[in-house]
Amino acid sequence: MPGITRNGVRIDDSFAEAFPMRGTALLITGPNRKWARQAAVTMTGFATSVIGCGVEAGIDGEVDPRDTPDGRPGVRVLIFAMSSNELQNQLTNRVGQCVLTSPGSACFADLTASDEMKLGDLLRYFGDGWQISKKFGGRHFWRIPVMDGEFLCEATVGLTKGAVGGGNLLICGADYESTLRAAEAAVEQMEKVKGAIMPFPGGIVRSGSKVGSRYKVLHASTNDAFCPTLRGQVATALDDDLGCVLEIVIDGLTEAAVADAMRVGLAAIVKLGPKKGARRVSAGNYGGKLGPFHFHLKELAP
């Protein structure tokens, strides 16, 4: 596929096709950095893809105690779903099972939006009648008794219907080591973009998928056009000098956040160059039929 070249890295004249999602942001605090992060990691587990997990979630960054409502170490978490109902169900279950249970935790809303979902308003029932409603500074909280003291939880959280899911980069290299090196360099920079997450393990997915399958029970299956081992057996999208492909998928609270993450990721790959990293970068799309958000690589390239 024709495109442009930057620092020896070929960038396809292609675009990542993304789609609308529902999203929210939470701020989880703990007695120290370790436990704040542990609650966040547990809550965002098994949340790589809506295809099999129902939601996509990840850590947006750590928050200094000076910037949290209770003056303790915090971690900002983003969670995305295809519908408001699914997001509400997953939010309640994940906070209830993973944050409420974590020693010393508290949970606050961290997104201002015109729409809202219930959080503490539902979890309060765990208090079995001993829960206490508290309003402070124009915000509503619930204090729920637990065995190490109280779980403080905001009553509601903001809901954005303008979230975007499915931004992506297909990173193509000569071998596994160089391709992974390029992907890791990209993720390191992309993690600095506020409001965007890369939900797969370490931000990277090796099992990129296409829509549909020869098996009716599956909605998605392996992206055979980018599988090096299938070259010669399928209509491959890979050049002869490419032996490995890794993908980065991006979700954002806004379209701009996804674009910014892709932009800095591309810049990191280009900076590394083809000798140490990727030889080519492409993107996954379905001809513009899947989603209304199109992130063109040539427009995002450094």
pLDDT tens-digit profile of 155-173? 999 999 999 999 999 999 9
> What's the pLDDT at 276?
98
CA distance 158 to 178: 41
Give DSSP secondary structure letters for 177-246: HHHHHHHHHHHHHHTTSTTEE--SGGG-BSS-EEE--SSTT-SEEE-GGG-GGGBTTB-----TT--EEE
Is the confidence at residue 185, as pLDDT, over 70? Answer: yes
Does residue 226 contact residue 262 with C-beta atoms inside 8 Å? no
Report the run of H or E that residue 164 belongs to, with start and end: strand 156-173
Give DSSP secondary structure letters for 29-81: E-SSHHHHHHHHHHHTSS-S-HHHHS-EEEEEEEE-GGGSTTSS-EEEEEEEE
pLDDT tens-digit profile of 19-28? 999 999 999 9
User: Comparing 286 with 227, which gets the higher pLDDT?
Assistant: 227
Does residue 252 contact residue 265 with C-beta atoms inside 8 Å? no
The DSSP symbol for 275 reads H
Report the range of poorest mean pLDDT among 60-64, 151-155, 204-208, 219-223. 219-223
> What's the pLDDT at 254?
98
pLDDT tens-digit profile of 252-298? 999 999 999 999 999 999 999 999 999 999 999 988 888 999 999 99
Q: How confident is the model at residue 1 (pLDDT cuts 50, 70, 90)?
A: low
> What's the pLDDT at 286?
84
Is the confidence at residue 41, as pLDDT, over 60? Answer: yes
